[in-house]
Amino acid sequence: MSRLKAPRGTFDVLPPDGRRRLRLLQLAEEVLGRAGYEYFESPVFEETELFARGVGESTDIVQKEMFTFEDKGGRSLTLRPEATAAVCRAYVEHGMHKLAQPVKLWTWGPFFRHEAPQAGRYRQFTQVDAEVLGSQEPSVDAELILLLAEILEQAGVEGTRLRLSSLGTAESRRQYADELRAYLREHEGDLSMEVRERIDANPLRAFDSDHEGTRTVMRSAPVLIERLDPDDAEHFEEVKALLDDAGLRYEVDHTLVRGLDYYTRTVFEFESDRLGAQRGVGGGGRYDGLIEQLGGPPTPGNGWAAGIERILLAAHGGPAEDRRPVYIAVAKPGLRRDAFRVARELRAGGVATELEQAGRSMKGQFKQADRIGARATVIVGDELELKDMDSGEQRQVADAAEVLRLVGA
Ligand code: AMP
């Protein structure tokens, strides 16, 4: 029998990565919780139609990348490729428009896209995701961007760059799309096959192309950001002013076209030059028409998603190391029960504690204490002794309570 492996494009999280991920989760909770965002979860699979309608039929995600299957009742289901459509579905399903607005939510979990795996690109990956429903205010756009910037900075992500743009409203985008289509048709001969085939369905994607001829044509193409209507332009000015006030640096990049159809007004993306070809760490934007499109009341929305694996790839060391354990060494096999009790008492007192459980010699146990970076070792022998692993100082102690007093929680 051949050896079993994790499926292509997936991975196991092994120590010490597990700890880095949990710390990042805590960091997200702290930063987002402080700004009034509530944690929520939605199912890992949804009806396929949600993504077809919510992400957009012409997008790469819907056309090529979804893990879609039929359940035993013949329903078409899809492993979620992104979070926003489900958040909007939940907002409508639970009548959240009746709550005080805006509704601010965040989540964390696995997402699935059938892409060609490479460094930083997987078929199952993890996102942290924040969404604000029910407010048009430019301060929501700026707040969301600043919160992601804070998480990336505190997570230790290096070499970041923020690209920012505005896509206007659906109407100004439609007018602009017509203008762009006409321009692309004039230059059809120089465009890549893929771009040519999508002139009707999604002309904006031409800005994403790596094709040499297409890139040359796009350098002189009309740009949306110069065609915004006055309200949209003013909204964008306000978002930029708030970011300027906060001292966050960004580049306005009119070629920024997010991969999903539903965006309106502000869009943004954080990249890190510490990553290879897959340099996007996180991004998002406004989707003022999406909830209505999914059958809800007209409701503005805005949000972002950031990839956990990419954050950790681009982070130098990750969030600061916090917890150095106390190690319990057992001097004689007959004292294992005493050692077990001391470990329980220290843990109950809030101290991270590890217990010798491999039958090591005394020398081996001190080596192990060093290996795990223990700050102190309790030696359970005829007496109880406490050794400070940094100073090497050793003293006799009466019981676990005294150890707790000396090492603190
Ligand atoms: P998107 O919804 O495509 O803007 O993705 C948001 C973030 O999720 C990206 O910036 C990446 O950090 C992460 N991401 C998206 N697709 C993948 C993938 N296939 N593998 C790993 N991370 C991904």
Q: Which residue has the tokens 């022998």?
A: 381
The pLDDT value given to residue 169? 83
Whole-number Å distance, alpha carbon 3 to ligand 1 midpoint, is 30
Cβ neighbours for 356, distance < 8 A, ≥ 6 positions apart:
327, 328, 329, 330, 339, 365, 368
**Beta strand ranges found along 101-180 (DSSP E):** 103-112, 124-133, 160-166
Which structure tokens are listed for 233? 């332009």
CB 265 within 8 A of CB 167: yes
Q: Which helix (H) or strand (E) holds 407?
A: helix 400-407
Distance between CA atoms of 236 and 138, rounded to whole angstroms?
Answer: 7
| pLDDT value at residue 172 | 83
DSSP code of residue 23: H
Instruction: State in Å: Cα 258 to ligand 1 middle.
Output: 11
Backbone angles phi and psi of 303, in degrees to 5: -175, 175
Residue whose token pair is 């439609």: 174
Q: Maximum CA pair distance of the chain? A: 91
Q: Give the C-alpha distances (Å, rounded to integers) separating 96 from 40, 102, 129, 368.
A: 13, 10, 18, 53
Inter-residue contact 97 to 296 (CB < 8 Å): yes
- Summarised one tens digit per residue, pLDDT across range 237-261 is 999 999 999 999 999 998 787 656 6
Per-residue confidence band for 201, with pLDDT thresholds at 50, 70 and 90? confident
122 lines ligand 1 (CB under 6 A): yes
pLDDT given for residue 51 in this prediction: 94
What number of other Cβ atoms are within 10 A of residue 128's Cβ? 26
Cβ(221)–Cβ(206) below 8 Å:
yes
Let me know if 253 is exposed, middle or buried by CB neighbors in 10 A (0-12, 13-18, 19+): middle
- What is the predicted pLDDT for the residue at 259? 58
Report the pLDDT value the prediction gives residue 321, as an integer from 0 to 100: 54
Instruction: Give residue 317's pLDDT.
Output: 60
Task: Answer whether 61 contacts ligand 1 (Cβ < 6 A).
Answer: no
Q: pTM for this structure?
A: 0.89
Quote the ligand 1 centre to 12 CA distance (angstroms): 18
Range 385-404 burial, b when 16+ CB lie within 10 A, else e: bbbebeeeeeeebeebeebb
Count CB neighbours of 189 within 10 A.
8
Beta strands in 223-349 (DSSP E): 251-252, 264-272, 280-286, 301-307, 326-330
pLDDT exceeding 90 applies to what percent of the chain?
A: 81
280 within ligand 1 shell (Cβ under 6 A): yes
Is the C-beta atom of 208 inside 6 A of ligand 1? Answer: no
Ligand 1 centroid from CA 307, angstroms: 5
Rounded CA-CA distance 291/136 in Å is 14
Q: How far apart are CA 32 and CA 39, in angstroms?
A: 9
110-119: average pLDDT: 96
Question: Does the beta carbon of 279 sit less than 6 angstroms from any atom of ligand 1?
Answer: no
314 Cα distance to chain centroid: 13
- Kindly tell me if the per-residue pLDDT of 174 is higher than 90: no
pLDDT averaged over the chain? 93
pLDDT of residue 260: 64
CA dihedral 206, 212, 215, 217 (to 10 degrees): -100
For β-strands 376-380 and 326-330, DSSP reports them as: parallel
Taking residue 18's Cβ as centre, other Cβ atoms within 10 Å add up to 11
Q: What is the mean pLDDT of residues 284-289?
A: 93
Q: Is the pLDDT of residue 75 over 60?
A: yes
| CA-derived radius of gyration, the chain | 27
**Averaged pLDDT, 340-355:** 96
**Ligand 1 atom, smallest distance to 81 CA:** 2
Q: Are 112 and 77 spatial neighbours (Cβ–Cβ below 8 Å)?
A: no
Phi and psi at residue 330, in whole multiples of 5°? -110, 115
pLDDT at 188: 93
Percent of the residues in the chain that have a pLDDT greater than 70, as a whole number? 97
Query: Ligand 1: which residue has its CA nearest to atom 9?
Result: 282
CA of 122 to the centre of ligand 1 (A): 9
Identify the residue whose tokens are 């979860």: 41
User: What would the mean pLDDT of 372-382 be, rounded to a whole number?
Assistant: 95
Among protein residues, the one with the nearest Cα to ligand 1's atom 8 is 307
Q: How many other C-beta atoms can be found within 10 angstroms of the C-beta atom of residue 245?
A: 9
Strand runs labelled E in 253-313: 264-272, 280-286, 301-307
* Mean pLDDT along residues 311-328: 78
pLDDT at 220: 93
Strands 76-79 and 45-47: antiparallel
What confidence tens digit (pLDDT) does each residue in 7-41 have?
Answer: 999 999 998 899 999 999 999 999 999 999 999 99
Checking if the pLDDT of 170 tops 80, the result is: no
Mean pLDDT is lowest, of 116-125, 150-159, 315-324, 360-369, for 315-324
The answer to whether 221 touches 199, Cβ cutoff 8 Å, is no
CB 109 within 8 A of CB 35: no
Q: How far does residue 188's CA lie from ligand 1's centre (Å)? A: 31
Mean pLDDT for 359-366 is 95
